[in-house]
Structure 1
Amino acid sequence: YQVNVIGTKNVVNMCLETKVKRLVYTSSIHALSEPAPGIVFNESREFNPENVLGEYSKSKALGTLEVLKGVEKGLDAIILCPSGIIGPYDYRVSEMGKLIVDFVKGKVKVYIDGAYDFVDVRDVVEGLILACEKGKKGECYILSGQQVSVRQLLKFLEEISGIKAPSFKIPQPLARAAGFFNVLYCNLTKIKPLFTPFSIDVLASNSLVSCQKAQDELCYSPRSIYESIKDAVQWFREERII
């Protein structure tokens, strides 16, 4: 909350005070209100902190509303909402990065059913630049990539790494309960958890996402997720993380 809401409010106020020409704000797909199953996520969704998934999403929705308040006061701001970021240059090893590393090391023995929309980190960076150059004041643009099931993602990793993908699937209700205890254990042992109740909920949520607006107005063009995963594996190997 302090960073995503108060920090954003401070940035907006400073931009107004110093008359910054343009602010490009990175929000999140999860800051947009959750659509019903089968309904495509697009920019028509409102930023409603009471209709999002989890505390992180709520904080990003509140932060985005601070940016929109700044727009009402005359700030030239563009809002970008990336989906799940994946790809190389993952120096801090994100949750998705940890999954890739653990898979290649042969540590992933089971998987959780679900799907998500993933976007390459390089495409997000390109989207930020395009938004700065071509975006319209006060507009929101979704930066998504490709919807991929967990099973398909693991099969991609199997093809790229040569490591056999697990075939045993954990039901989501059981996985969510396990995720709660997994977080407690990891907090005690100072180990970064591979999955959390929030990540389980995300995999079960609506992952039909459209980036058509960004494609039409910004000339945004995301690459295939297979390429992103392949480059991520190669980068982790070059950095001797795997």
Structure 2
Amino acid sequence: MKVAVTGAAGFVGKNLINQLVEAGHEVVAIDRLRSDRCRQDGVTWIDGDVLDAKSMIDALDGAEQVFHLVAMITLAQKDDRAWTVNTVGVRTVAQAALAVGARRMVHCSSVHSFDQAICNGRLDETSARSTAPTIPVYDRSKWFGEVELRKVIDAGLDAVICNPTGVYGPVDYGLSRINGMLRDSARGRVPAVIEGSFDLVDVRDVAAGLVAAGEKGRTGENYLLTGEMVTMFDAFRMAANFAGRRGPRFAVPMRFIKPLLPIAEPIGTRFGTDVVSKAAMGALLAAPKVDGAKARAELGYGPRTAAQTIRDLVGFYVASGQLGARSALPA
């Protein structure tokens, strides 16, 4: 089957392409960037602009399935470019998929399209959405991207929506934010972490969930792709221990961080990091239990444990030389 993937050079895109090729599909990889890691038989790379209707119609021509992965991830409160890409971009791709007669579109949204702060500790597909203007632009734009998609579904497009939680794991040459921090810990460079927890999901499981949604998902439905709820302290300690290092000694309580945010956030921005920001801290403070039962029941989705993912991630770092000195994983 001919399958098109937008944002194919990204973190999720590379892992999804690998699985699609292994399944025997002909893949059209759409991205202005190129991934040397995905230059294999069965993959054709083409340029495509998700904000240009003709560009997307040309790129999707002949595709039976379309996976839309393009998104701008930011922890900023306001970012006009991110808003446009994450909303108008979804609509443009969906309209192009409908125009070329694609059998199905799978849109990769995010758990952040749900308002985690008001879900009372538990989040599922019926929970409140990120509509408040005080919510960071990424969260709001991911929800309104779904709104734009549903307009095209109403016009006749067969599409489903997947909402992964915090995506991490191998393979990642980027690195993503969480993978980069876990690599620092595996190098022994993280003496302490901020207290808090989050549901983290292996990128390989996200890719498998997207494929399953394309095959089994119900039109117009959302599917939360969950992993395991893990504390940042435990995750960073595992990364360090799997690399033969000690890891962080303690977790700084959130009550000590919150009063410093007005000072720490602009300092971090000046030095090019958003790790200590209202958006990042908000996600750790909310820390809802995310219910993945719907994806398990309807898609046959089954994620790995955090220990499996982090062990594999450190193994990937070792094999790819990203830890400096090659560490040996414990037996």
- Check whether TM > 0.5: yes
Count, aligned residues: 236
Structure 1: stretches of 5+ with no match in the other structure: 187-192
Selected match of 2:297 from 216, 222, 225: 216
Asked if the contact 2:186–2:241 (Cα under 8 Å) also holds between the matched residues in 1, the reply is no
Pick which of 206-215 and 45-54 moved more: 45-54
* Alignment CA distance shift 1:150-1:174 (3 Å): farther
Q: 1:52 to 1:240 in 2, by over 3 A?
A: farther
**Structure 1's 125 and 109: CA in aligned 2 closer, same or farther, altered over 3 A?**
same
What's 1:173 paired with?
258
Distance 1:221 1:175, change over 3 A: farther
Of 241, 245, 261, the match for 1:163: 245
The residue number in structure 1 matching 2:269 is 183
Q: 2:141: which partner in 1?
A: 59
Flag the 1:119–1:102 CA change in 2: closer, same or farther, 3 A: same
Q: Which residue number in structure 1 is paired with residue 208 of structure 2?
A: 126
Compare 211-220 and 193-202 and name the one that shifted more: 193-202
Find the structure with the greater CA-based Rg. Answer: 2
Identify the structure with the greater helix proportion: 1
What is the CA–CA distance in structure 2 between the aligned matches of 1:12 and 1:40, rounded to whole Å?
31
Q: Is the 8 A contact 2:193 2:232 kept in 1?
A: yes
The runs of at least 4 aligned residues of structure 1 exceeding 6 Å deviation read none
Contact 2:122 2:290 in 1 (8 A): yes
Structure 2 residue 287 is the aligned partner of structure 1 residue 202: no
Cα distance in 1 between the residues matched to 2:134 and 2:292: 19
Whether contact under 8 Å (2:196, 2:232) holds in the other structure is yes
Aligned CA-pair RMSD: 1.9
**Does the CA contact (< 8 Å) of 1:30 and 1:53 recur in 2?**
no
Instruction: Out of 39-48 and 213-222, give the one that drifted further.
Output: 39-48
Output the CA distance in 2 between the equivalents of 1:21 and 1:175. Answer: 51
Bigger shift: residues 72-81 or 13-22: 13-22
Q: Structure 1, residues 75-99: CA drift from partner, whole Å, max 9, x if none?
A: 1110000000111111110111111
* Structure 1 counterpart SS, 2:271: helix
Match of 2:131 among 36, 49, 52: 49
User: What secondary structure sits across from 2:160 in the alignment?
Assistant: strand
TM-score (norm 2): 0.67
Instruction: Tell whether the 8 Å contact from 2:122 to 2:289 is kept in structure 1 after alignment.
Output: yes
Distance verdict in 2 for CA 1:42–1:160, change over 3 Å: same
The one-character-per-residue Cα deviations of 1:175-216 (angstroms, maximum 9, x if unpaired) are: 634243112122xxxxxx371412222111233101000000
Give the Cα–Cα distance (whole angstroms) in 2 for the partners of residues 48 and 185 of structure 1: 29
CA drift of 1:49 comes to 2.5
Higher relative contact order (CA 8 A, sep 6+): 1
